[in-house]
Structure 1
Amino acid sequence: MRSLILVALALTLGACSNVYYDAMEKVGVHKRDILVDRVEAARDTQSETKEQFLTAMEQFRQVVDFSGGDLEREYLRLDATLQRSERGAAEVRERIDAVEAVSEALFDEWRTELEQYSSDHLRAESQRKYDATRVRYARLIASMQAAEEKLEPVLVPLRDQVLFMKHNLNARAIAGLSGELARVQVNVDRLVRDMDEAIAEADRFIATLQQ
């Protein structure tokens, strides 16, 4: 529920706006809290998108192995799955952008506030935590971006195959797509591997922020 409220407020006030962050501060939700929520949302979106791409791959395999029935219906199913995969990929990109926006604001604020300490000991301790969090965040965002970069190499051949099917709805023509199946599978395997790593990295990052 809290995540839904944050999303609604972000849409209203603008996710990258200082006005948004200031408004959230006034109700007791700090940038660190927003970052955790956005990392969780990005992680969940990546998980859902991974499953969507696995579904698309399975449907593509079924079409290539078509052995009778309504071929047009199979095409329509695959096309609908491709469209959902496209939307999932776009949402993954948007979630990563949102994580980057709030993290930049958080680290800028943290760096500025380091100068406000009168205690050298407390400043050094906060600096240590800042540096460690930056390192963990760098791993997180690199992992998320690596997974995101694998989306388009999967989408490109799937778009091609769906377009080909649109104009060649006969079993002999569809059988000719079998040569593409292995290439698409390799890209999907890479995507799933990187998505799994990004999801695990997100879990680790969230755990460290909540300690």
Structure 2
Amino acid sequence: MKRLVLAGVLTLPLVLSGCQSAYYSAMEQVGIHKRDILVDRVEDTRSAQDDAQEEFTSALEQFRQVVNFEGGELESVYNDMQSAYDDSEAAATSVSDNIRQVEEVAEALFDEWQDELEQYSSQKLRRQSAQTLKETQARYNALHTRLKGAESKMQPVLSALKDNTLFLKHNLNARAIGSLKGEFGGIKRDIDRLLAEMQRSIEASDQFIKEMKQ
């Protein structure tokens, strides 16, 4: 049984790779190439980051309302904070999933492009294509750095939001609100940095999309 499970784990990447290859082939048959798919996935990632900016901004505002709480139903305040955290976590997951999709098609595109350089009979055209490949990879690498930079700042923020949400859940009293006030400044600073990094990533995505469509 263990051997069968291990075999399944080892062959899964091959199966997934085969599925992606079949997908790319099918898309090419209808005139949609890996370059087009890469642009589409960068656009999807940009949209996911837009959504994430909104959710993290909303979570910060909800946290602000918690620390400024002056009376009412604490259970309701907690529920709103938990909902804001859940929405932020879902948005962050969407961003990461989209980045993985971008990485996948970019790798396939550049591997194919590199392999096809050997098919040229014209040295001049081969050199021109190789130079274009180099320039495209450089643009993608710059974008990828931005995407990963923004992604890396999401998890620390989520962890801090989760800690404070859990603390409020188990301490629904005014004393807990007082404790959370001391946490607000640090979380606001981290979310502000995250939003700024995401904005730079979005701008890099816009530039990459523009250049790829030229």
Moved over 4 A (4+): 13-16
For 1:87, the equivalent position in structure 2 comes to 90
Distance 1:177 1:112 in 2: 56
Distance 1:14 1:88 in 2: 25
Task: Summarize deviations over 1:54-99 as a string: whole Å, max 9, x none.
Answer: 1001100110110122221111011011011111111111100000
For 2:201, the equivalent position in structure 1 comes to 198
Q: For the Cα contact (< 8 Å) 1:65–1:175, is it kept in 2?
A: no
Shift of 1:14: 6.2
Distance 1:31 1:42 in 2: 16
Q: Which of 96, 100, 110 lines up with 2:99 in the alignment?
A: 96
Shift of 1:53: 0.4
Distance 1:81 1:185 in 2: 15
Shift of 1:139: 0.5
Distance 2:180 2:80 in 1: 17
Q: Which of 143, 146, 149 lines up with 1:143 in the alignment?
A: 146
For 1:152, the equivalent position in structure 2 comes to 155
Distance 2:114 2:179 in 1: 58
Q: For the Cα contact (< 8 Å) 1:14–1:20, is it kept in 2?
A: no
The one-letter code matched in structure 1 to 2:51 is E
Q: Does residue 178 of structure 2 align to residue 175 of structure 1? A: yes
Where structure 1 has 5 or more consecutive residues not aligned to the other structure, the ranges are: 1-12
Distance 1:125 1:36 in 2: 22
Q: Does residue 47 of structure 2 align to residue 28 of structure 1? A: no
Give % identity: 49
Distance 2:176 2:95 in 1: 34
Q: Which of 110, 117, 129 lines up with 2:120 in the alignment?
A: 117
For 2:76, the equivalent position in structure 1 comes to 73
Shift of 1:183: 0.8
Shift of 1:189: 1.2
Count of aligned pairs: 199
For 1:209, the equivalent position in structure 2 comes to 212
For 1:126, the equivalent position in structure 2 comes to 129
Where structure 2 has 5 or more consecutive residues not aligned to the other structure, the ranges are: 1-14
In angstroms, what is the RMSD of aligned CA positions?
1.4
Distance 2:20 2:196 in 1: 34
Task: Summarize deviations over 1:71-130 as a string: whole Å, max 9, x none.
Answer: 211110110110111111111111000000000000011111111111122111111111
For 2:55, the equivalent position in structure 1 comes to 52
